[in-house]
Structure 1
Amino acid sequence: MKAARWRIARRGLALAVGLALAAWIGLPDPLIETSRFLHYEDSVEIADRHGAPLRFARSGASDRRWVPLASMSRDLIDAVVAVEDQRFWEHEGVDVRGTFRALVFNFVPGYRWSGASTITQQLVKLVYGRPHGVASKGVEIARALALERTFSKDEILEQYLNRLPYGNGIEGVERASQAYFGHSASELTLSEAALLAGIPQAPSATEPRRHLPRAMRRRALVLSRLEALGLRSAEEIAAARADEVRVVPTPPRPWRAARFVDVVQRERARGALIARGGSLRTSLDLALQDRAEQLLEARVRELAPRGVENGAAIVIANASGEVLAYVGAARRGHDAPGGALDLLRAPRQPGSTLKPFVYGLLFERGGTAASVLDDVATPMTGRAGVLYAPRDYDGTERGPVRARVALSSSLNLAALDAARRVGPDRVLARLEALGVRDVPSVEEVGAAAVLGGVDVRAVELAEAYVALARGGTRVPLRCVPGAIEEGTEVMPADAAAIVRDILADGRARAQAFGSDLHVESEGLEIALKTGTSTGFRDAWAAVFDDRVTVLVWLGDPDGGATRAVSGFEGAAPVAARLFAAAHARVASLGATVETSVREDVALQHASICAHTGLLAGARCHAVVTERFTAGTTPTRTCDAHAEDGALLLPPRYAEWIARVRPADVRVRTSEGSTLVTAPVVVHPRAGARMLADPRRGETRIPLRATIAGALADDVEWEIDGAVWREPTWPLRPGEHRFVARARGLRSDEARITVE
């Protein structure tokens, strides 16, 4: 056993001497990699825009902050040198006398091992570890000698003091001084410096909060060493021994706006955000954040009996895109559904919240708030080609309806008509331009995108509404204070102005939903759009004006249906309250929040027929005032009313009239007669595309035709040139032709495609 130990000792000593000589005479060797000695990244305090702490973010697994040697107490420097390496300023990296003594005495019975490592050697171990087994001591010596030729003594000491372990994951004297004494390493007293100097040799055993008596005994040893070396006078040492060290209690670690800080951390990781001086000020306003959390949590709690399990909200300054409040989950923690998630970044069905952007496309292509849309049920192809029959939220078909009424009332059928007019491809392209990711193809979703057929994330939707609030220019959302931005134009200012004007129409909103939310918004004028996804799974509300945009989501993160909680009933009230809270803070948040960047668009007023959207004529009994951008005011006068006051509509409304039977509404022919004798095929509608799914068995559709605007029961049918005598027809793939015959007259041919 002794022989084996001596063999190992001789090999280690020979290797140490050989490597040391190589380093000493300067032979080429790759032992020192200067890149390893670069300053590490500091731990960072992430704060709100006013400096209130949100979280203390460690650097990797360590709590550390690099400071130059000049910023460290001289007492600390002397104390560390005295206890760790009293000949540090004299040797050239290795204490030769101490090293040989350690090698010899290690093998003498009764003597304990003494490493005799200098500060330079210890720095090598801190940077490289000891990966070479028995040869590590030799490599360590060689590297220490090379290190002394590469760096100055002050540089070595600075590296060493910034890398020392102090327990609890603390690394370096600066964070240790702050953590244990509440102040910087430049302000350490001799007593505090001696205590810190004694910790690194056994951090887990001398960490002062848990093991203060041991730490004090170690401090006494350091003070004695300082006195023995003549580095401090006896009077100074006596005063230090009498000084009662006060270790501060563990400070409560801030953990505010957790999901927002997670976003900031991801931005830092990819280099988009840089901390200065150990601190990173974000755009968040903590007072508004607290209020947002309170409002949203209270609303979720209130609606919990109806299946609302959680909620999320974001508040944005329109001028700069700064995030002022960010509630990733109203109910937090692993016990709450979605409580550990960032629900603002979870893809969800947006319901009707995409409609304003479809209307924006309609308006920039010549449409106006007075344009008449068809709020009529028409079977259509939706996601993945599935056939479905959309309907309005109340099951009512309103027939011809003006765009202002359609959008403020969030009518599904009219929105589908708008989407068909502008083209589903343009709708999806506009959503991409607004920042919506993962937009499906036209074949996958078709015109159903306008009804929520595209999954979106709340942050994407909020960014789209900021663009609308800004008058059509998009800015990326930002987590730190910034400058007012011009943005990128994604829609013309004129079109955006009309959409905003409709969404801000409190009277139209109240007529549609029974309330204008004036009380909830504390009297502030708001533009509002709500959304409710299929099966009441998601309730949305976007509220905005020139300065601030608020977006709220409520629902079940697991996708469960609520008990009929709509966007207007569930999300809109809390969104309006949060909007009011944001406005109460605007004046104190600076120009990038308070400033409006929206281009003013002058709107002209005109009296129009409420039924047709044309200039009011002599027979129009329902006249309203509408607003138009320059050059879009209608020039035609309405002539769609008979002498008896009835509204005369084009033949395409014949089926709707027959089905709904609205009062004082008739079909009008091109000659002006109200009698239509030839039958009209109304179902299937000409040009329809339908899906036959063989997995569901045979799908049959009804055959319907009208005569003079009334459903006819005595028609005969020709399908693809052959007589068909049943009232329904089974869908068959291919192109098909339908003709209705009655009283010797034939309808126009209606062609459809079945896939």
Structure 2
Amino acid sequence: MGRGEARRSRQRGARREQGSRGGIRRFFTWRKLLGTFFVFCLLSMGGFYAVYLLVPVPTANAEAVLQSNVYKYSDGSILARSGKVNRSIVGLDKIPDPVEKAFVAAENKTFYEDSGVDFKGTARGVINTVTGKGKQGGSTITQQYVKNYYLDQSQTVSRKLKELVISLKVDQRKSKDEILAGYLNTSYYGRGAYGIQAAAQAYYGVDAGKLTVEQGAYLAALLQAPSQYDWTSATPTGRKLVTERWNYVLDNMVEERWLDPAERAGMDFPEPQAPRPAPGMEGQTGYLVAAANQELIRQGVPEEHITAGGWTITLTVDKKRQKELVEAVDEQLESKLDRDGDKVDSTVQAGATSVDPKTGHVVALYGGVGATEHWMSNATRRDYQPASTFKPLVLASALENASETQDGRRIGVNTVYDGTSRRPVEGSDTPFSPENEDDRSYGPVTVQRAMNKSINSVFAQMIVDVGPGKVKKTALDLGMKDSEAFVEAPAMSLGVMGASTWDMAGVYATLDNHGKKVTPSIVKSAEHKDRAVEPAEPIGPQVISRQTADTVTSVLTGVVKEGSGRAANTSAYQAAGKTGTSENNKSAWFAGYTPELATVVALFGEDAEKGTQVTLTGTANSGRANGGGFPARIWADYTLDALGGGSDARFDLDVLEVAGPEPEPSTSASESASPSASPSDEPDEPTSSPSSSAPTGGTPTSQSPTADEPTPPTQSPSSSASASPDPGGSGDPGTDPVTDPGFVNDKPRQ
């Protein structure tokens, strides 16, 4: 090839290269690139707008609205929490303002000014999600709230885009305070605590409203890495990091002028308490929680609202007295039972309710061996007979109605009745002839002594004299509950209806409160973020006169001093009370009170497998069970401790009549009695059956009552009411201070 041809070839190649470069420049001009960018932006904006329109603000996710109920003792300490999620939602009005600001300083200083999103942080999070770099921070408080409340914790591009859109909408629709409150209540703080209230309790043992700035700053710092930053389990590196973040939070608060620099300089790191397991429902806890829930339901709160959670319920229960009641049952009963090896002992159930008669507050409650072992509360069940604890109500009705005996004498403390066993009642259309304990006859006795000895025949006649309808009305006025078994008949005098220790504690507290109605209440306060329940007023109107109530109290002090309730007697306090033992010893009761405390203790024989009531006879190898035994000793042990070792308080009584001397017994015939079934049933001085002309009522003649008499059985009315009750029925045998192991030197064991 010549030089000319080579030059022409080079020129043709240059022209082709120049043409090629010109074509590329024509295709990728800056104008076209800029136009493409704008088109892309417009398409992106259009797409985002479409997404904005199409993505709604959803309803809250199921986990976000779950809450626990928090139950507290009267002093504010935690009794229990119930529910799947440990969360109690609180409003910003319950959280100190500096604590709120600590969270804003930690997470999103521009929270009060921004539009609810951090586009740069969100973009970074999307990129890291796509590239597999994992979780990335940078979200605003609004975005974190949206993630917690509306969405879930998944790390996907679609979830992050939804978070962005919903955050913009939420910021427009909700106030900053609403968003901040939602964030504080939905965030997870570690230790199983969701929300700032649960976190405050978990880390510092206080409600959110009592958090200090230092504590609030720690909780705010904790949110970045709850497990790593939990001080009690953190590594040295973790402690260093959380301390640095705590300082960062406080410094930001100073920078934003939310915290005074001088105050900041004096702050020390607030080490949290060690983790504590959330209280469960074992032991007495379940019974207390159930009683509180039932009271709220009675006050009109639907059960489903309670189970949905979110309640803070403070009980009236005194933590110290609750502990003392449990210890009294353990010491006086459970320590003596062989539940695994003895058939009778395995059936014994104990229940008790203790009430402050001045306020009506339930200060202690014993529901059984444990709510997880025996689900039915023995404190509130009404399927057992209260037996002779009903007799004071018969007397109260007689006094309140100014009733008279069959021969026209006014019934009072000193009215004389015929205490013959199996004596048919007079003046009743329904025949009834109850048997006294051990079929024992007493001759003429005053009402005071009849109460001391719990003589069935006397009170069967008295209820006829008063009128069963009037007695039932008095009982209902005092606080007993009506039922099909509450039949207006002479047998009602033996307490054959159903009742609970809760009911009877209210009845005896009303007597203690001089006749002003006491309805036991266990709820001190109940609050929810959406509502609050005003507790019912436990103290009601005057249901019987003060003189009636005080006269009954005076009579019942005799039962404790000289009658079947001597196991409750001590010089450490003044007490009134009544024993009760139902037919065949299926239940045994002691209902008693001091000027400051009314408490009812009962034992029930229950075959849980068969669902039947069984006899308590042979409990702890003690022979016949009775109200003057285990129940009275539990009552005395608890009351002594509950009153701080004793009390100088005395009953302030305005009585209708003071007990006088006992009438002389007739010696014309010997007393008829079967042998005592219990070693502690020491016989009293002999008393013979009165003659046919013995009065059903009258005035006393002589002889003071003594205290060693066994007390009578009680039984349900039978279809043949005139027939004598089953002689195997039992009553309330008194306890002998000489032979009874519950006594030392004529005084009950302390």
TM-score, normalised to structure 2, is 0.62
Tell whether the 8 Å contact from 1:373 to 1:403 is kept in structure 2 after alignment. no
Superposition map of 1:60-79 within 5 A? 61-64=85-88, 66=90, 67-68=94-95, 70-72=97-99, 76-79=103-106
2:183 corresponds to which residue? 160
Q: The residue matched to 1:320 in structure 2 has which SS?
A: coil
TM superposition shift of 1:547: 3.2
Are 1:580 and 2:654 an aligned pair?
no
Q: 1:346 to 1:101 in 2, by over 3 A?
A: same
Tell whether the 8 Å contact from 1:323 to 1:477 is kept in structure 2 after alignment. yes
Are 1:144 and 2:175 an aligned pair?
no
Q: The residue matched to 1:346 in structure 2 has which SS?
A: coil
Superposition map of 1:448-467 within 5 A? 448-467=491-510
Superposition map of 1:558-577 within 5 A? 558=607, 559-562=613-616, 563=618, 564-577=624-637
One-letter amino acid matched to 1:346 = R
Superposition map of 1:658-673 within 5 A? 666-667=691-692
TM superposition shift of 1:541: 0.6
Tell whether the 8 Å contact from 2:485 to 2:497 is kept in structure 1 after alignment. no
One-letter amino acid matched to 1:127 = Y
Query: What is the aligned counterpart of 2:467 among 409, 423, 436?
Result: 423
One-letter amino acid matched to 1:377 = R
Are 1:553 and 2:602 an aligned pair?
yes
Between the aligned partners of 1:252 and 1:301, the Cα distance in structure 2 is 27
Q: The residue matched to 2:601 in structure 1 has which SS?
A: strand
One-letter amino acid matched to 2:360 = G
Superposition map of 1:302-451 within 5 A? 303-304=336-337, 307=345, 309-329=348-368, 331-332=369-370, 334=372, 338=374, 341-347=376-382, 348-363=384-399, 364=401, 365-366=403-404, 367-369=411-413, 370-373=415-418, 375-377=420-422, 390-398=434-442, 401-440=445-484, 446-451=489-494
Superposition map of 1:7-26 within 5 A? 17-18=49-50, 20=52
Superposition map of 1:264-303 within 5 A? 264=292, 267=295, 282-301=315-334, 303=336
Query: What is the aligned counterpart of 1:187 among 185, 210, 213?
Result: 213
TM superposition shift of 1:91: 4.2
Q: The residue matched to 1:505 in structure 2 has which SS?
A: helix
Tell whether the 8 Å contact from 1:180 to 1:247 is kept in structure 2 after alignment. yes
One-letter amino acid matched to 2:146 = V
TM superposition shift of 1:196: 0.7
TM superposition shift of 1:475: 1.5
2:593 corresponds to which residue? 544
TM superposition shift of 1:248: 3.6
1:491 corresponds to which residue? 544
Query: What is the aligned counterpart of 1:122 among 144, 159, 179?
Result: 144
Between the aligned partners of 1:395 and 1:289, the Cα distance in structure 2 is 40
Q: The residue matched to 1:77 in structure 2 has which SS?
A: helix
Tell whether the 8 Å contact from 1:71 to 1:185 is kept in structure 2 after alignment. no
TM superposition shift of 1:300: 0.6
One-letter amino acid matched to 1:362 = A
Tell whether the 8 Å contact from 1:195 to 1:218 is kept in structure 2 after alignment. no
Tell whether the 8 Å contact from 2:147 to 2:153 is kept in structure 1 after alignment. no
Tell whether the 8 Å contact from 2:386 to 2:580 is kept in structure 1 after alignment. yes
Q: The residue matched to 1:437 in structure 2 has which SS?
A: coil
Per-residue CA distance 1:666-709 (angstroms, 9 max, x = gap)? 54699xxxxxxxxxxxxxxxxxx98489xxxxx999xxxxxxxx
2:655 corresponds to which residue? 601
Are 1:171 and 2:194 an aligned pair?
yes
Q: The residue matched to 1:315 in structure 2 has which SS?
A: strand
Q: The residue matched to 1:171 in structure 2 has which SS?
A: coil
Aligned sequence identity (%): 21
Between the aligned partners of 1:452 and 1:469, the Cα distance in structure 2 is 20
One-letter amino acid matched to 1:425 = G
Q: 1:260 to 1:225 in 2, by over 3 A?
A: closer
* Structure 1: tracts of 5 or more residues without a match: 1-10, 24-28, 381-385, 589-593, 611-621, 624-640, 648-660, 671-688, 694-698, 702-755
* Structure 2: tracts of 5 or more residues without a match: 1-42, 302-310, 339-343, 405-410, 525-534, 608-612, 619-623, 670-685, 696-716, 725-750
More strand by share: 1
One-letter amino acid matched to 2:417 = V
Tell whether the 8 Å contact from 2:332 to 2:633 is kept in structure 1 after alignment. no
Q: The residue matched to 2:439 in structure 1 has which SS?
A: coil
Are 1:196 and 2:250 an aligned pair?
no
TM superposition shift of 1:170: 0.8
Tell whether the 8 Å contact from 1:350 to 1:454 is kept in structure 2 after alignment. yes
Tell whether the 8 Å contact from 2:52 to 2:165 is kept in structure 1 after alignment. yes
2:727 corresponds to which residue? none
TM superposition shift of 1:316: 2.2
Q: The residue matched to 1:324 in structure 2 has which SS?
A: strand
TM superposition shift of 1:577: 3.7
TM superposition shift of 1:298: 1.0
Q: The residue matched to 1:439 in structure 2 has which SS?
A: coil
Per-residue CA distance 1:165-212 (angstroms, 9 max, x = gap)? 12333123464366346787543389946751312xxx5677665565
TM superposition shift of 1:463: 0.7
Q: 1:414 to 1:171 in 2, by over 3 A?
A: same
Tell whether the 8 Å contact from 1:105 to 1:111 is kept in structure 2 after alignment. yes
TM superposition shift of 1:458: 0.5
Per-residue CA distance 1:129-175 (angstroms, 9 max, x = gap)? 35999986666444322322234445533431332112333123464
Query: What is the aligned counterpart of 1:250 among 275, 281, 301?
Result: 275
Q: The residue matched to 2:589 in structure 1 has which SS?
A: strand
After superposing the two structures, state which structure 1 stretch, 527-536 or 421-430, moved more.
421-430
One-letter amino acid matched to 1:304 = L
TM superposition shift of 1:39: 11
Between the aligned partners of 1:13 and 1:116, the Cα distance in structure 2 is 22
2:530 corresponds to which residue? none
Per-residue CA distance 1:530-570 (angstroms, 9 max, x = gap)? 01122212211112243322211124454432221111123
One-letter amino acid matched to 1:560 = V
Tell whether the 8 Å contact from 1:42 to 1:58 is kept in structure 2 after alignment. yes
Tell whether the 8 Å contact from 1:318 to 1:548 is kept in structure 2 after alignment. yes
TM superposition shift of 1:54: 4.9
Tell whether the 8 Å contact from 1:72 to 1:185 is kept in structure 2 after alignment. yes
Q: The residue matched to 2:590 in structure 1 has which SS?
A: strand
Between the aligned partners of 1:360 and 1:144, the Cα distance in structure 2 is 70
1:476 corresponds to which residue? 519
Between the aligned partners of 2:58 and 2:497, the Cα distance in structure 1 is 56
Q: 1:599 to 1:145 in 2, by over 3 A?
A: farther
Tell whether the 8 Å contact from 1:543 to 1:551 is kept in structure 2 after alignment. yes
Between the aligned partners of 2:247 and 2:539, the Cα distance in structure 1 is 66
1:685 corresponds to which residue? none
Q: 1:667 to 1:430 in 2, by over 3 A?
A: closer
One-letter amino acid matched to 1:125 = K
Tell whether the 8 Å contact from 1:53 to 1:254 is kept in structure 2 after alignment. no
Per-residue CA distance 1:24-76 (angstroms, 9 max, x = gap)? xxxxx8x488999x99989757234xx37352546872244645472327554
Between the aligned partners of 2:120 and 2:689, the Cα distance in structure 1 is 113
Q: 1:477 to 1:179 in 2, by over 3 A?
A: same
Q: The residue matched to 1:428 in structure 2 has which SS?
A: helix
Between the aligned partners of 2:657 and 2:596, the Cα distance in structure 1 is 20
Q: 1:334 to 1:388 in 2, by over 3 A?
A: farther
Per-residue CA distance 1:394-445 (angstroms, 9 max, x = gap)? 11244654433322211123222222333333333333222222422666x7
Q: The residue matched to 1:394 in structure 2 has which SS?
A: helix
Q: 1:115 to 1:77 in 2, by over 3 A?
A: closer
After superposing the two structures, state which structure 1 stretch, 477-486 or 554-563, moved more.
477-486
Tell whether the 8 Å contact from 2:421 to 2:439 is kept in structure 1 after alignment. no
Between the aligned partners of 2:589 and 2:489, the Cα distance in structure 1 is 22
